[in-house]
A and B are shown apart, each in its own frame.
Chain A
Amino acid sequence: MRKSAALLLALLLALCAGCSVWGEPWDICRVVAPHYREGAELVRFETVNVPEGAGMIDALIEALNSPTEDPELQNPLPEDGKILDWRLSGTVLELSAGEGYALLAGLDKTLCDCCLALTLCGAEGVEAISVSVNGALVTPELGERDIVVYDAASDAAEG
């Protein structure tokens, strides 16, 4: 009986330790593939686990650079436009992207900028993002307050 209780306690502690290593769930903003957009939303969130504290932003950027596992979603970042580096300046997270990011235009650029902002804003100390390519600013400060996301099933506003 005592051995069983000790074993159970050890398992619980290991689980808790594992949870702290594994981190907390975080929503990564993805774009809905064109085939699935009609009558539905334009962007959708994909949940991943990221570590708390210092390693969080690196984990989020790594997730943003990675492809999605959902066949209905797409990663808006081009292959040569991934996020390479970051720096927190005040409450603005300054991102440095590959050259392909500078070639984005129109709605495609809007979707990349918004997915980065909706994913990274809300992390501790981040209220807005900006994007530069080779030192040149391509996206000025952009926060969640600058984006309107509608749930296609209702008239609810605000993203």
Chain B
Amino acid sequence: MRNSGGAEKKRRKLTQRVQFKFVLAFFTLIVALLGLVDTYPIAASRDLVASEKESSLLSQAGVISASLSALDSLSSDAVGQVMSLLDIAGLERIIVTDGTARIVYDSRSPSDGGKYALLSEVALALDGRQVFWSRFADGAFTSRAAIPVYSSRGLSGAVYICERDESQAELIISVQSRLWMISLVCLAAAMALTVVFSRALTARITRLAEAMRVVRGGDYAHRIKPEGNDELTELSEEFNDLTERLETTEAQRRRFVSDASHELKTPLAAIRLLADSIIQSEGMDEATMREFVADIGSEADRLQRTSEKLLDLSRRDAGAPRALSRVDLGEAAAATSRLLTPLAAKMGVQLSCSAESDCLVTASEDELYQIVFNLAENAVKYNVEGGEVAIDVRRGEKRVLLTVEDTGIGIPREDLPHIFERFYRVDKARSREKGGSGLGLSIVHDAVVSLGGEIEVAAREGQGTRFTVSFPPAAEEGGGEL
């Protein structure tokens, strides 16, 4: 299955889906709870009834046994007379046996008199024990009890009684039926709510996954609308932020590629034009030819510088490791000043440098020199005849400060936010004339930030520029890799 983003959506079995697992878990829980609610009260009620019946039946059997204990022997006539005097009601059957388990009295079946009663209850009673058990089945409580009969001569027989109670059983069954009915209704309602809720939950997750597929397909402008105010909302908002960053990064990448292509293409075009002019011009004088060749050399140099800076930026972007050590920023400033003195003299700019001692910074030596050189070179190049450039290095309270200040042409206020962007040039024509590529300050900015520093620019148009760079001071034992 393909969506609009072009990515394939995985097919999942029903049993693998979150919604199914959610519904199944809730269903199992609800069924377990309802089962407990439906069975425990009924079981407790049955136990209560059984307990009551045990007390009642044993009591009645005791009355019969006590009444018969006055007889020396349990004969049919004597037992029949005693039983006729007793007012025992509500029993299914009463059997009285002698010591050999022969029936001397049977309330339900008088013709069974004289037969042997092979009942386990009678046998246990003839062993001198009281017996009771009750069973709830077939819509009734069936209870049996048996106790021994003692006469003056000892154990003489047994009394066995049986009761069948349908009314109490009917009551319990009725309550159970109602409980089951209510439980079924509750289960249906709970499952309906569970399905609705789980569908709403998984639908949001599915929409988020769909949005991810769209963005993965290249549509970085795609956003989803956050719903509600829960963790999924937070996830949606994070997704939108991430996509916005992706969109910005992609735009920057496109622009960089476009600018880089243009910067590389321009000197190549110039070289091509000059070479064609030489080839196509017959009888060109030597001086003109030398001039053209010199221009080709200049453009080749520009191309080389741009390529080197692009490579540097690329390495920095890739996070290539570099060796760090404790470097004296003051010495770097002094070395840069010495290096730029001939250029400054040629341009009629006065270059000065003042540095405190022990202004140590944890950096790679080449990188630090590059920062100072790029700032100082720009200050010299974009200056005026008779202008000044001052390089200053000193220790602040918690930072090491580098200041490069000039009295040059300055930077317009509207250009200030962009001067650290790659390929950005305030005056393109003047920059080309000076051999600039628009990458120098980008390199300075990225290098300063990677060393834990900060860079600020203060500028007034027509009155010069001041760059202030601050670094954290080097630790006591420096060195390491970033």
Tell me if chain B binds chain A.
yes
**Contact between A148 and B118 (Cβ–Cβ < 8 Å)?**
yes
List, in ascending order, chain B residues with CB within 8 A of A149's CB.
Answer: 118
B102 pairs with A110, CB closer than 8 A: yes
Kindly state the separation between the CA atoms of A32 and B119 in the bound complex, as whole angstroms. 11
Partner of A32, one of B99, B117, B120, B131: B120
Interchain CB contact under 8 A, B115 and A38: no
Query: Which residues in window 94-149 of B have CB below 8 A to A?
Result: 99-103, 109, 112, 114-120, 122-124, 126-127, 131, 133, 135, 142
Q: Identify 20 new A-B residue pairs, CB closer than 8 A, beyond the known A38-B120, A147-B116.
A: A32-B120, A37-B120, A37-B124, A38-B131, A38-B133, A42-B118, A107-B99, A107-B100, A107-B126, A109-B100, A110-B102, A110-B118, A146-B115, A146-B116, A148-B112, A148-B116, A148-B118, A150-B117, A155-B93, A155-B142
Known contacts: A38-B124, A107-B126, A110-B100. The answer to whether A150 contacts B133 by CB under 8 A is: no
Q: Is the CB of B116 within 8 A of A114?
A: yes
Q: Once bound together, how far apart are the Cα atoms of A101 and B456, in whole Å?
A: 123
**Chain B residues in the interface with A (C-beta under 8 A):** 92-93, 99-103, 109, 112, 114-120, 122-124, 126-127, 131, 133, 135, 142, 162, 164
Does B118 lie within 8 Å of A147, measured CB to CB?
yes
Do residues B109 and A150 form an inter-chain contact, with CB atoms below 8 A? no
In-complex Cβ contact of A150 among B119, B124, B126 (8 A): B119
Distance between A110 CB and nearest chain B CB, rounded to angstroms:
5
A155 near B164 with CB under 8 A, answer: yes
Q: How far is the CA of A87 from the CA of B124 in the complex (A)?
A: 35
Q: In whole Å, how far is B405's beta carbon from the nearest beta carbon of chain A?
A: 108
B94 to chain A, nearest CB (A): 14
Q: Are A159 and B118 in contact (CB under 8 A)?
A: yes
A109 to B123, CA, bound (A): 12
A107 to B117, CA, bound (A): 10
Contacts A/B (CB < 8 Å), 8 sampled: A42-B119, A42-B122, A43-B118, A106-B100, A145-B115, A148-B115, A150-B118, A155-B93
Q: How far is the CB of A150 from chain B (nearest CB, A)?
A: 5
Q: Does A58 contact B (CB under 8 A)?
A: no
Determine if B120 and A157 form an interchain contact, defined as CB atoms under 8 angstroms apart.
no
Is A106 touching B117 in the complex (CB atoms < 8 A)?
no
Q: Which of A42, A145, A147, A157 contacts B123 (CB 8 A)?
A: A42
Chain B residues within 8 Å of A42, by CB: 118-120, 122-123
Cα distance, A148 to B93, chains bound together (Å)? 14
Q: Which of A92-133 contact B (CB under 8 A)?
A: 105-107, 109-111, 113-114
Instruction: Give the residue among B118, B123, B127, B135 with the most A Cβ atoms within 10 A.
Output: B118
Give complex CA distance A42, B119 in Å.
Answer: 6
Judging by beta carbons under 8 Å apart, are A148 and B120 in contact?
A: no
In the complex, residue of chain B having the shortest beta-carbon distance to the beta carbon of A43: B118
Q: Does A41 contact B (CB under 8 A)?
A: yes
Residues of chain B contacted by A43 (CB below 8 angstroms): 118
Give A147 to B164 CA distance when docked, in angstroms: 23
Closest to A37 in B: B120
Asked if A37 contacts B123 (CB within 8 A), the reply is: yes
CB neighbours of B112 from chain A (8 A): 148, 157
CB distance from B336 to the nearest CB of A (A): 107
* A152 touches B (CB below 8 Å): yes
Q: Contact: A155 with B162, CB < 8 Å?
A: yes
Q: Of residues A32, A38, A107, A145, which shows the largest number of chain B Cβ atoms within 10 Å of its Cβ? A: A107
**B164 surroundings in chain A (CB, below 8 A):** 155
Give bound CA distance, A37 to B129, whole Å: 12
| A111 to B162 CA separation, bound complex (whole angstroms) | 22
A111 to B119, CA, bound (A): 11
Chain A residues near B109 (CB, 8 Å)? Answer: 157
B103 to chain A, nearest CB (A): 7
Cα separation A150 to B108 with both chains bound (whole Å): 14
Q: Is residue A48 contacting chain B, with contact meaning CB distance below 8 A?
A: no
Q: Is A135 an interface residue (CB 8 A)?
A: no
Across the interface, which residues of A come within 8 angstroms of B119, CB to CB?
Answer: 42, 148, 150
Docked Cα-Cα span, A149 to B116, in Å, equals 8
With A and B bound together, what is the CA distance between A110 and B114 in angstroms?
A: 12
User: How far, in whole Å, are A108 and B50 apart by their CA atoms in the complex?
Assistant: 32
* Interface presence of A88 (CB below 8 A): no
For the complex of A and B, 10 pairs with smallest distance between CB atoms: A37-B120, A42-B120, A149-B118, A42-B118, A110-B100, A148-B115, A110-B101, A39-B133, A148-B117, A107-B126
Of all chain A residues, the one with the shortest Cβ separation from B122 is A42
Cα separation A111 to B135 with both chains bound (whole Å): 27
Does A9 sit at the interface, judged by CB under 8 A? no
**What are the residues of chain A within 8 A of B116 when measuring CB–CB?**
110, 113-114, 146-148
Q: Which residue of A lies closest to B99 (CB)?
A: A106
Complex interface: chain A residues within 8 A of B100 (CB): 105-107, 109-110
Chain A residue numbers with a CB within 8 Å of B114 are 146
By beta carbon, the residue of chain A nearest B134 is A39
A40 touches B (CB below 8 Å): yes
Q: List the B side residues contacting A148 at CB < 8 Å.
A: 103, 112, 115-119
Find chain B residues with CB under 8 A from A145 CB.
115
Within 8 A of B (CB), among A45-74: none
User: With A and B bound together, what is the CA distance between A124 and B275 in angstroms?
Assistant: 136
A54–B114 alpha-carbon span in the complex (Å): 33
A109 to B99, CA, bound (A): 11
The smallest C-beta distance from A153 to any residue of chain B, in angstroms, reads 8
The CA-CA distance from A146 to B114 in the complex, in Å, is: 7
Complex CA distance for A113 and B115, rounded to whole angstroms: 12
Which residue of B115, B122, B131, B135 is within 8 Å of A147 (Cβ)? Answer: B115
Would you give the shortest CB distance from B93 to chain A, in whole angstroms? Answer: 8
Once A110-B100, A155-B92 are accepted as A-B contacts, the answer to whether A40 and B120 lie under 8 Å apart by CB is: yes
Q: Which interface residue of A39, A41, A149 has the most chain B CB atoms within 10 A?
A: A39
A37 to B126 CA separation, bound complex (whole angstroms): 13
Using CB atoms, name the residue of chain A closest to B126.
A107
